[in-house]
Each structure stands twice: as C-alpha cells, then as structure tokens.
Amino acid sequence: MSVINQYQRKFKEEKESYSTELGKRPNWLKVKLPTGDNYTDVRNLMRRQKLHTVCEEAKCPNIAECWNARSATFMILGDTCTRSCGFCNIKVGIPNELDLNEPRRVADSVKELNLRHVVITSVNRDELKDGGAAIFRECVKLINEEMYDTTVEILIPDFRGVEEAFEIIMQNPPDILNHNLETVPRLYKVVRPQAKYERSLSLIKWFKEKGLKTKSGIMVGIGEEPEEVLTLMDDIVNNGCDILTIGQYLQPTKNHLPVDRYVSPEEFNIYKEEGLKKGFRIVESSPLVRSSYHADRHARAIF
Ligand code: SF4
C-alpha cells in the first residue's frame, strides 16, 4: 500500500470520528481569553497609532499568547479589502485613500515594542496600480534604517501577478517574503475566488529566484483531502518555498465557510514530518498555527 493510501485510510477514519462533533471545539483548540499588561499595552499602542493588526481583524485565536509576548502582525493599507475570500473576517468594500504616513507609524510602533522580528501584512488593494507595494517597501525601508537588528517579514497579497509591483518590493527587500496559498487548488473557487493557484506559486518562485527566503501557509479542515495537502506541499516546495505553516481553519462567523472537520494534532504532526522530508527547511504545523505564529522563531532558525 502506498504512503498516500495509508494516509487516506487513516485520515478517513479520523474524519468520520471528528465530523460528528463539529458543534463543539475539541480541547486542543481552546485558548485563553486575552488579558494582561502586555496585551493592554499592545492594544493601546495600536489605537494610539491608528494602526490595524490582523490579530484583531482576523479574530486570531493566538492573540493572548502573542500580544502578551509583545508580538503582533501589522495590517497595512487600511482595514477594507477589495476581495471577498470565504474564510476571511476582514471587512470587504471600497477602501479609503492610501495613508502615506502609515509606514512612519508602523516603524515607530516596531521601535516602541522593541521587536526583533516584525510581520507586516495587508488587505488586498486591487484598485491600485501597484496593489500597495510601495507602502510595503516604505515600511521595510524605515524599519531597516532605524532598527538595524530587526528582521522584517512581509506577508503580501498576489498583487494580481503584476511584476512591476514585485519589482517595487525588491527596491527594499524584506528578510522573509511570505505569501499564503491558503488551500488546495480544487477549493480556490469558494475559498479564494479572486485568486489563482498558479499565480500564487509563480509569485513564490519569482521572489525565490531573486534570492529571498520564502514562506507560505495553508489552512486545513476547510474541505481538502489529505492527499491533496501532500500534493500541494510538493507544488509549494518545488517553487522554492523555505518555510510552511499549516493550521486549522476556524469559521469566524456563521456567514463564512463552515469547518469541514477538526484535524487531529497527530495528523498535523504527519504533515510536518512529510513536509520536512519533501524539503521545506521549517514546517510549523499544529491546530492553532497561523501564518505569523512563531514567526520570530522561524526567522532566528533560518538566518
Ligand atoms: S498568530 Fe499572528 S495574527 Fe495571530 S495573534 Fe499571533 S501575531 Fe497576531
């Protein structure tokens, strides 16, 4: 029996056992309520600087842990996205005008939090010619100038595949270029209707060929089959990706795509083992993993 067939059989049994309990979250997905001095400091800083974080906007389950460790993921280019992905809790609509002072406030906040590693992501701004790439570049530039030891990771949208936008990013490149594939190609129409699987793979390849460290992430439990995850891993690693994150999809509101199943911690471990065998340098795979979870550890490990 092939490795994939063994997985298929094992995962099918698990799927059957967990799918009956979808109403209640298993213990491994229970998290602490966000409280604590550091948590309050980070929240106050974000309000004072009028900045958004994906931690709050996406209702990330790790917010208590990360903010208490004074770590947060900045979300730039406003709080309104031009795309309507089925899994994402970020507001959709017509965005406000670009805020050209945003990079200054992000850099000041990175300084105030004294971050060793920072992750910056954004909404999609498909109405802009460069998709907002110049604002990403300015954030990286200011942080590089003022925080010499801080590594910068940017988690970018696909910029509609426009190469001029990629070139703008390379004018002041980050230490790590992250772009999430999110799910297997079969589910793109419902999960990421305005994205293209091949376009995202090409983006990773493009930046890898420029010499950057690259990273990507996916959710599981949204309707994919285990063997599709293994094939997806091959596609990502073969396009030059160094780091992979895998976490459980959780439905942010009842208007979003439903959870298909709760993937067991054991299955996450198997994905990690398989990913490392396939050639990823780091695989962070467990139920509560999100794209920026433990990002500072990844940066320390890869440089
Ligand atoms: S995992 Fe990322 S998005 Fe979630 S709270 Fe931590 S830094 Fe924020």
List the chain pLDDT tens, one digit each, 303 residues. Answer: 455 556 556 556 555 544 444 668 899 999 988 888 999 999 999 999 999 999 999 989 999 999 998 889 999 999 999 999 999 999 999 999 999 999 999 999 999 999 999 999 999 999 999 999 999 999 999 999 999 999 999 999 999 999 999 999 999 999 999 999 999 999 999 999 999 999 999 999 999 999 999 999 999 999 999 999 999 999 999 999 999 999 999 999 999 999 999 999 999 999 999 999 999 999 999 999 999 999 999 999 999
Q: What is the pTM of this model?
A: 0.93
What number does the ligand 1 atom closest to the CA of 67 have?
5
Which residue is closest in CA terms to ligand 1's atom 6? 66
d(Cα 200, Cα 178) in Å, to the nearest integer?
11
Q: Which residues line ligand 1 (CB under 6 A)?
A: 54-55, 60, 62-63, 66, 71-73, 290, 292-293
Contact of 65 with 121, CB cutoff 8 Å: no
Structure-token pair, residue 85: 């992905």
Q: Got the DSSP string for 122-143?
A: E---TTSTTTTHHHHHHHHHHH
Which residue is closest in CA terms to ligand 1's atom 7? 72
Which residue is closest in CA terms to ligand 1's atom 2? 292
Helix pair angle (163-170, 197-209), 10° resolution? 30
For the stretch 129-138, what's the b/e string if a residue is b when 16 or more beta carbons lie within 10 angstroms of its beta carbon? ebbbbbbbbb
For the stretch 174-188, what's the b/e string if a residue is b when 16 or more beta carbons lie within 10 angstroms of its beta carbon? bbbbbbbbbbbbebb
Residue 187, beta-bridge partner list: none
Residue 53 CA to ligand 1 centre (angstroms): 9
Structure-token pair, residue 117: 């590693």
What number does the ligand 1 atom closest to the CA of 291 have?
2
Amino acid, single-letter form, for residue 183: T
What number does the ligand 1 atom closest to the CA of 60 have?
4
Residue 246 CA to ligand 1 centre (angstroms): 14
Residue 218, beta-bridge partner list: 182, 246
3-state SS, residue 154: strand
3-state SS, residue 42: helix
What element of type H or E holds 233?
helix 226-238
Contact of 39 with 68, CB cutoff 8 Å: yes
Contact of 7 with 227, CB cutoff 8 Å: yes
d(Cα 177, Cα 119) in Å, to the nearest integer?
10
d(Cα 247, Cα 289) in Å, to the nearest integer?
4
Contact of 244 with 275, CB cutoff 8 Å: yes
Nearest partner of 182 among 109, 91, 88, judged by Cα = 88
* CA atoms within a 13 Å half-sphere pointing along the CA-CB vector of 274: 21
d(Cα 104, Cα 139) in Å, to the nearest integer?
7
Residue 109 CA to ligand 1 centre (angstroms): 16
